[in-house]
Copies of this chain bind each other. A is one copy, B any other.
Amino acid sequence: MKASVGKGLSRSIEDYLKVIYKLEADSGSAQTSAIAEALAIAPPSVSGMVKRLAEAGLLEHSRYRGVRLTEAGQHQALRILRRHRIIESYLIEQLEYDWHNVHQEAERLEHAVSDALIDRMDQALGRPSHDPHGAPIPTPDGEIETIHYVPMTDLDVGSAGQLRMVGDKDSERLRFIASLGLRPGVAFDVVARQPFHGPLTIRLEGGREEVIGYELANSLQCERSGGDAK
Q: Does A91 contact B (CB under 8 A)?
A: yes
**Contacting pair B94 A117 (CB below 8 A):** no
Q: Residue A5 at the B interface, CB < 8 A?
A: no
Whether A113 sits at the interface, judged by CB under 8 Å, is: yes
* Interface segment out of the listed A24-32, A103-111, A129-137, A159-167: A103-111
Question: What DSSP secondary structure best describes chain A's contact surface?
Answer: helix
What number of copies of this chain does the assembly contain?
A: 2
Q: Which of B109, B111, B124 contacts A95 (CB 8 A)?
A: B124
Interface residues of A in 112-170 (CB under 8 A from B): 112-114, 116-117, 120-121, 124
Contact between chains at B112 and A95 (CB < 8 Å): no
Is B105 a contact partner of A114 (Cβ separation < 8 A)? Answer: yes
Is there an interface contact between A112 and B114, defined as CB atoms closer than 8 Å? Answer: no
What separation, in Å, do the CA atoms of A109 and B110 have in the docked complex? 10
Given the complex, which residues of B lie within 8 Å of A111, measured CB to CB?
A: 112
Q: In chain B, what residue has the closest Cβ to A97?
A: B120
Does A172 sit at the interface, judged by CB under 8 A?
A: no
Contact B120 A95 (CB under 8 A): yes
Contact of A112 among B97, B109, B124 (CB under 8 A): B109
Chain B residue at minimal CB-CB distance from A119: B95
